[in-house]
Structure 1
Amino acid sequence: MITRLLRQEGWQVNFKRIYRIWKREGLKVPVKKVKKRRLGDRSGAIGRRRAERPNHVWSVDFIFDRTVNGRSLKVLSLIDEFTRECIALEVNRKFTGDDLVTLLVDLFAIRGRPQFIRSDNVPEFISKRVREFLDLIDVGTSYIEPGSPWENAYVESFHSRFRDECLACEEFATLAEAEVVIESWRQKYNHRRPHSGLDGLTPAEFASQWAASIPLPPWKLPTAKFVTQSGPS
């Protein structure tokens, strides 16, 4: 990721040199591990409903932090699983089902509705208010099995980056400061941070290229406008 960011700024560098410098300076170097491929498990929630296009599946979850006075911060993360875009990082002291519905109404007006929303089974996501609202507008739910966070793997992976690159590096004096800093990081994540799962593109670049590659249906194609001029009689 650092190599790609430097190349974006015009540096002519290669990965091996950056890796050597990174390691020599004692910075964080990922440790190679053998991991189970949970995403390939067709019995899990990801396998049952894998995103095939933008706005097909959104995933939602909470992550927690604190302001310097010890009061809790609750951050709601919303991810488009296909483009990896972070649609929202909503920060507050607490959230209710009504708060989630209010946020979704605004996001649907801007981005359109997803076909499904994937989440765990916390009270805010399974509340009667949320379920009735999603049923009303024909948005399906995909709840993961209790105690199976890997079934919501995209948002869990996003939270790991969010924790390492923002929450672990910042102290928030107030809720307002947290909102500003976290929104700034979200914009950077979407528009500047290259994503290995998208061949080094940012989520915004990937979404833009995908949209440009889809042909318009016939009823949306531009039509020629003919202007007739009549001569003197």
Structure 2
Amino acid sequence: MTVLEELRVWAREGFHITKLTEITGTNRSLYYYHNATDEPIEMVEKRGRPIPGYSKTQSGDIIPDEQIEEFLMEAIEGDGATYGVKNLTKLLEDEHDLQINHKKVARLCKRLGILLPQRLGNPKYPKRLVRNRIITAPNQLWQLDIKYGSIVGSRRFFFVACAIDVFDRSIVGYYRGPRCTAKDITGMLNEAIIRRQLQVIDDSNGHCIVIRTDNGPQFISNLFGEFCEKNNVFHERIPPRSPNYNAYIESFFSILERDLFRRYEFTYFEEAYYEIDEFMAFYNHRRYHGSLGRMSPVKFHEKYKDSGFPEEMALSL
């Protein structure tokens, strides 16, 4: 057995290759060259600190990478600015009080595909800005957003994506899970469209629903754009740092934070999911709304279907 073969055996046992090459007097680059050209061997366990999946603010609050990615997409797509990695790092420090390294920002940008060399050309699905709408019935405008919670005593997160009908305040669909991708959200929306019995309109100038979101990476993805095109959904996005355009879903998330997340400490994911399911059922079917005449969203929706409401019930959004 040659020295290089012996080094490979010791490497499989977990010994550090730098120390092994120093002891045997072997050139480290020679080892890696032959190791790359020989038959593949079992991968040695990766050393070094694992990627944590979060960053901290100056006050010590933990912000998951998914939320940081949304900050980045808001800066790139919302402002339409051509920012480099160092400018984005500075923006995260100034706007969101994050303690973050430019190398991590580069890694997140690469994962999102927003590094400058990769942003050439026009987007497949152009951005549509919000405009004022008069809402007179259910299923005319849904607002959609994502919120995250944490498991106590750990650094693990779960995500809740919700779509609210701004007319009857119903949560028409929601998703909760350890990650939140465009696939998860489109699946939730597809179920909501079926549940609300919305029809795809054949008229090229019509649409079955307007969905309003922020500039999160899930909402500007090709998958989300394809879903909207297939289902004739008109997707509009709010400007950055303007949550008032999504006031109804933001208001619901404040209720969710106050009445659920602050009242319970979740020790594992299944517990959090169970409590979220219970809260959604309570909110839709039993929680009174002053703006709905002290009715629950479901009761208000059913009353509208039975008798309708006068035009003064219309909302300007």
TM over 0.5: yes
- Cα offset, 1:103, TM superposition: 1.7
Q: Distance in 2 between matches of 1:174 and 1:49?
A: 42
- Cα offset, 1:51, TM superposition: 2.7
- Assess if the C-alpha contact under 8 Å between 1:97 and 1:124 holds in 2: yes
- Assess if the C-alpha contact under 8 Å between 1:97 and 1:125 holds in 2: yes
Aligned to 2:121: none
Q: Distance in 1 between matches of 2:192 and 2:209?
A: 14
- Assess if the C-alpha contact under 8 Å between 1:55 and 1:112 holds in 2: no
User: What is the CA deviation profile of residues 30-59 of structure 1, one whole-angstrom value per residue up to 9, with x for unaligned ones?
Assistant: xxxxxxxxxxxxxx94x6124321111111
2:249 to 131, 152, 155: 155
Structure 2 residue 164 is the aligned partner of structure 1 residue 79: yes
2:234 to 127, 140, 160: 140
Correspondence list, 1:32-111, <5 A: 45=130, 48-68=132-152, 69-111=154-196
User: What is the CA deviation profile of residues 105-148 of structure 1, one whole-angstrom value per residue up to 9, with x for unaligned ones?
Assistant: 22222223351101101010111111111112211012111110
Aligned to 1:211: 305
- Assess if the C-alpha contact under 8 Å between 1:172 and 1:178 holds in 2: yes
Q: Secondary structure at the match of 1:117?
A: strand
- Assess if the C-alpha contact under 8 Å between 2:144 and 2:211 holds in 1: yes
User: What is the CA deviation profile of residues 135-187 of structure 1, one whole-angstrom value per residue up to 9, with x for unaligned ones?
Assistant: 12211012111110111000011111111111111111221111111110111
Q: Distance in 1 between matches of 2:183 and 2:239?
A: 24
Q: Distance in 1 between matches of 2:307 and 2:237?
A: 32
Structure 2 residue 262 is the aligned partner of structure 1 residue 178: no
- Assess if the C-alpha contact under 8 Å between 2:175 and 2:184 holds in 1: no
Aligned to 2:286: 192
- Assess if the C-alpha contact under 8 Å between 1:66 and 1:72 holds in 2: yes
Q: Secondary structure at the match of 1:125?
A: coil
TM-score (norm 2): 0.51
Aligned AA (1:180): Y
Aligned AA (1:191): H
- Cα offset, 1:200, TM superposition: 1.1
Residues 50 and 71 of structure 1: is their aligned pair in 2 closer, same or farther, counting only changes over 3 Å?
A: farther
User: What is the CA deviation profile of residues 81-109 of structure 1, one whole-angstrom value per residue up to 9, with x for unaligned ones?
Assistant: 11101123321111111121222222222
**Structure of greater relative contact order (alpha carbons < 8 Å, 6+ residues apart):** 1
Q: Distance in 1 between matches of 2:147 and 2:218?
A: 13
- Assess if the C-alpha contact under 8 Å between 1:50 and 1:57 holds in 2: no
Runs of 4+ residues over 6 Å off in structure 1 = none
Structure 1 unpaired stretches of 5+: 1-43, 215-233
Aligned AA (1:77): C
Q: Distance in 2 between matches of 1:85 and 1:107?
A: 11
Count the aligned residue pairs: 171
Structure 2 unpaired stretches of 5+: 1-128, 199-207, 309-317
User: What is the CA deviation profile of residues 176-203 of structure 1, one whole-angstrom value per residue up to 9, with x for unaligned ones?
Assistant: 1111111101111111111011121111
Q: Percent identity?
A: 31
Q: Distance in 2 between matches of 1:203 and 1:99?
A: 24
- Assess if the C-alpha contact under 8 Å between 1:58 and 1:118 holds in 2: yes
Give the aligned CA root-mean-square deviation in angstroms: 1.8
Q: Considering only CA atoms, is the larger Rg found in Structure 1 or Structure 2?
A: 2
Residues 81 and 150 of structure 1: is their aligned pair in 2 closer, same or farther, counting only changes over 3 Å?
A: same
Q: Secondary structure at the match of 1:130?
A: helix
